[in-house]
């Protein structure tokens, strides 16, 4: 009997997921004589045993298609919403796995998915994962698929914003996704020639940014593009949040409620930070400012050539590892190759931009303001 491999996509969708499914499937079926079955909508489909048979015809024509043919969700096996309650559904997942007599389950996802997949490894299941996310923040892999496509989209947006900013002599603040990592904003800002790039790893000083924009203006460039990562924050907000988090961790009894309220108030301020930044820059520079939030545009549509190749490369390597019985690992991108990394070395870590990363040095060398004093401190 042919070995049956399960596959699911979890977390936010990302360009390249279908290319990866196709890569796993074509190699698993075509080279190793296995069969493939897809579970719909991430871990929820595994709990509910909602499947789709993936034979060669279903894998045809999906390489260039965005999103995921399997559907996805942000459900966590151990905290799944059932009615209005969070329930641990891990045992239902184990049952589905055993019912199908799976040889392995492939989970395609970002940092959260790696964690959820590791929980299933602890249940004794044969799990293997691939790293996808437009945020590029999964530890132990050179890159994640989805990032290159999102980088291209955000860069093109910044390119297009230049002409309108230039024509109106305005500041345009463009918010880029990336969660708590600055890869996307830094990469797109650098590639698109942004004048200011703000990332979560470097809390910013608004006065310093305004000064840099005024200097540009005096030198004759009466417009500026500010690429801001959705996770970036001013040094004041960063300090306030850190303090509130520490107080909440230390608080006992009645103090806990007050500490929680303080943190909620700060989180409220964080929600409007890009608009607030734009308004503050307008006041400080006396230039008009507009905000563009790129949002989910960055995740939509056909994957770039780079992501198609990466996802296919990792997908086919994954099938080879299943054939060799290598489980409990993430198939990481290493140079031009792929390497299995134990999931326990991946989970609980986030790959943020190191302050000495060449992209940061390069940005400074071309005169980009990173919102700090030029040496990494605001």
Instruction: State the catalytic residues.
Output: 135
Among 151, 177, 321, 338, binds ligand F6P (CB under 6 A): 177
When the beta carbons of 112 and 193 are compared against ligand F6P, the nearer one is: 112
Query: Which residues does 358 contact at the CB level (< 8 Å), separation at least 6?
Result: none
Could you tell me the smallest distance in angstroms from the CB atom of residue 271 to ligand F6P? 12
Residue numbers 217-236 binding ligand F6P by CB under 6 A:
230
Query: Which residues does 121 contact at the CB level (< 8 Å), separation at least 6?
Result: 127, 327, 328, 343
When the beta carbons of 144 and 278 are compared against ligand F6P, the nearer one is: 144
Stretch of residues binding ligand F6P (CB under 6 A), selected from 2-10, 129-137, 191-199, 354-362: 129-137
When the beta carbons of 12 and 45 are compared against ligand F6P, the nearer one is: 12
Stretch of residues binding ligand F6P (CB under 6 A), selected from 56-64, 130-138, 253-261, 272-280: 130-138
Answer yes or no whether residue 179 interacts with ligand F6P by CB under 6 A.
yes
When the beta carbons of 146 and 192 are compared against ligand F6P, the nearer one is: 146
Answer yes or no whether residue 12 interacts with ligand F6P by CB under 6 A.
yes
Could you tell me the smallest distance in angstroms from the CB atom of residue 101 to ligand F6P? 33
Look-up: residue for tokens 């990363």? 357
Could you tell me the smallest distance in angstroms from the CB atom of residue 74 to ligand F6P? 6
Beta bridge partners of 196: 226, 369
| Token pair for 346 | 């991946």
Could you tell me the smallest distance in angstroms from the CB atom of residue 132 to ligand F6P? 9
DSSP H helices, 84-231, are 90-99, 111-121, 147-168, 183-192, 206-218
Stretch of residues binding ligand F6P (CB under 6 A), selected from 34-42, 95-103, 174-182, 270-278: 174-182
When the beta carbons of 106 and 294 are compared against ligand F6P, the nearer one is: 294
Among 42, 77, 131, 178, binds ligand F6P (CB under 6 A): 178
| Token pair for 297 | 């545009």
When the beta carbons of 175 and 372 are compared against ligand F6P, the nearer one is: 175
Stretch of residues binding ligand F6P (CB under 6 A), selected from 133-141, 167-175, 208-216, 268-276: 133-141
DSSP 361-376: HHHHHTT-B-SSSSSS
Contact yes or no for 246/204 (Cβ under 8 A): no
Query: Which residues does 220 contact at the CB level (< 8 Å), separation at least 6?
Result: none
- Measured in Å, how far apart are the chain's first and last C-alpha atoms? 63
Could you tell me the smallest distance in angstroms from the CB atom of residue 220 to ligand F6P? 36
Q: How many CA atoms lie within 13 A of 21 on its CB side?
A: 37
Q: How far is 288 from 172, CA to CA, in rounded Å?
A: 9
Could you tell me the smallest distance in angstroms from the CB atom of residue 251 to ligand F6P? 28
Could you tell me the smallest distance in angstroms from the CB atom of residue 37 to ligand F6P? 26
Q: How far is 5 from 53, CA to CA, in rounded Å?
A: 11
Answer yes or no whether residue 299 interacts with ligand F6P by CB under 6 A.
yes
CB atoms within 10 A of CB 253: 6
Answer yes or no whether residue 262 interacts with ligand F6P by CB under 6 A.
no
Among 41, 75, 135, 201, binds ligand F6P (CB under 6 A): 135
Among 68, 126, 133, 149, binds ligand F6P (CB under 6 A): 133
When the beta carbons of 28 and 194 are compared against ligand F6P, the nearer one is: 194
Residue 115 buriedness (CB in 10 A; 0-12 / 13-18 / 19+)? middle
Answer yes or no whether residue 138 interacts with ligand F6P by CB under 6 A.
no
Beta bridge partners of 198: 228
Answer yes or no whether residue 195 interacts with ligand F6P by CB under 6 A.
no
Burial 214-246 (b: 16+ CB within 10 A, else e): eebbeeeebbbbbbbbbbbbbbebbebbeebee
> What Cα–Cα distance (Å) separates residue 329 from each residue in 108, 129, 142?
12, 6, 15
Which residues form the interface with ligand F6P (CB under 6 A)? 12, 110, 133-135, 177-179, 230, 299
């Amino acid at each position: 009997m042919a070995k049956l491999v399960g596959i699911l996509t979890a977390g936010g969708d990302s360009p390249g997921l279908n290319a990866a499914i196709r890569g796993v499937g074509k190699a698993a079926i075509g080279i190793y004589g296995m069969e493939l079955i897809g579970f719909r909508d991430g871990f929820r489909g595994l709990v509910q045993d909602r499947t789709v048979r993936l034979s060669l015809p279903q894998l045809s024509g999906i390489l260039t298609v965005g999103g995921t043919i399997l559907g996805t969700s942000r459900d966590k096996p151990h905290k799944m919403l059932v009615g209005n309650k969070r329930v641990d559904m891990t045992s239902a997942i184990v049952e589905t796995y055993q019912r199908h007599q799976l040889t392995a389950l492939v989970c395609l996802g970002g940092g959260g998915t790696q964690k959820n997949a590791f929980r299933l490894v602890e249940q004794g299941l044969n799990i293997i994962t691939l790293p996808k996310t437009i945020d590029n923040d999964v530890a132990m892999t050179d890159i994640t698929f989805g990032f290159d496509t999102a980088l291209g989209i955000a860069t093109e947006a910044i390119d297009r914003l230049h002409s309108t900013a230039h024509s109106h002599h305005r500041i345009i603040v463009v918010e880029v996704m990336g969660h708590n990592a600055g890869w996307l904003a830094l990469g797109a800002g650098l590639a698109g020639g942004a004048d200011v790039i703000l990332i979560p790893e470097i809390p910013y000083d608004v006065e310093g940014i305004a000064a840099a924009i005024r200097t540009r203006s005096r030198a004759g460039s009466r417009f500026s593009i500010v690429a801001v990562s959705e996770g970036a924050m001013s040094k004041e907000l960063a300090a306030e949040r850190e303090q509130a988090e520490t107080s909440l961790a230390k608080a006992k009894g009645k103090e806990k409620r007050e500490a929680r309220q303080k943190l909620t108030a700060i989180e409220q301020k964080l929600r409007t930070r890009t608009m607030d930044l734009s308004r503050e820059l307008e006041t400080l520079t006396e230039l008009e400012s507009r905000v563009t939030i790129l949002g989910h545009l960055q995740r939509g549509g056909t994957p770039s050539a780079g992501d198609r190749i990466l996802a296919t490369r990792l997908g086919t390597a994954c099938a080879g590892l299943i054939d060799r019985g290598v489980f409990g690992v993430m198939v990481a991108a290493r140079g031009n190759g792929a390497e299995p990394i134990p999931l326990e070395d991946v989970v609980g870590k986030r790959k943020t931009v190191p302050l000495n990363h060449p992209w940061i040095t390069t940005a400074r060398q071309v005169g980009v303001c990173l919102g700090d004093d030029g040496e990494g401190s605001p």
